[in-house]
Amino acid sequence: MQYSSLISYLNSFVTLAPEEASELEKRVTHRAIKRRQYILSDGEVCRHYNFIVEGCFKMYKVDGHGKEHNLHFATENQWITDIASFHAETPSQLYIEAMEPSIIFQINKEDLIYFYERSIKFNRIFRVMIEDEFVQLQHRLLQTISSPAEERYLEFMRRYPDLFNRISSVQIASYLGVTPEFLSTIRKKLANT
């Protein structure tokens, strides 16, 4: 298994002792995920934090008209989960779907609490991770309500530079809250400047 990427990621926050890394390896689940396979669906309770070893995922909501609204993309060495559903143990309103064949590690709530209670390092790592995601979410919300679509597109390019060859324009447009046609107009305008 490719535990090294997960251990390296965690060590970027606080270095784990060998016994902590060994215990983590015993408590995470390794999964291979097919393209278009869901690791969470609307109505399910989110039971895992998901660390991406290989692949790309999207988290989205489908509205009453069947329209998809992308909230988040995650690729290698990133986490993806519905934090609200996970912590409150309530049904999710979101989907998390693999956009390409992927490999993930999953940790459930019981095991995460085990680490929180036994190691201040895990408390610190996950607190900082969630704080960083909250800052990103706050930034995105402010952009959505106060920035024109062109600026949101440029910010998307900055935040997700490796995604352009991995996801469709339709997915990007959904994330930005614009139509694919309007995204095409933005791209043409930027190409001509």
pLDDT number for residue 55 = 97
124 pLDDT above the threshold of 80: yes
pLDDT category of residue 9 using cuts at 50, 70 and 90: very high
- Contact (Cβ atoms closer than 8 angstroms) between residue 81 and residue 94: no
- What domains, with CATH codes, occur in the chain? 3-118 (2.60.120.10)
- CB-CB neighbours of 8 under 10 Å: 10
47 pLDDT above the threshold of 80: yes
The half-sphere exposure of 17 on its side-chain side, counting CA atoms within 13 A, is 8
pLDDT number for residue 163 = 87
pLDDT category of residue 165 using cuts at 50, 70 and 90: confident
pLDDT category of residue 1 using cuts at 50, 70 and 90: low
Instruction: State how far the Cα of 38 lies from the Cα of 53, in Å rounded to an integer.
Output: 16
SS3 call for 33: strand
- Contact (Cβ atoms closer than 8 angstroms) between residue 59 and residue 95: yes
SS3 call for 127: helix
Q: What is the mean pLDDT of the chain?
A: 93
* Residue at token pair 């910010």: 155
SS3 call for 70: strand
- Contact (Cβ atoms closer than 8 angstroms) between residue 109 and residue 81: no
Percent of the chain's residues with pLDDT above 70: 99
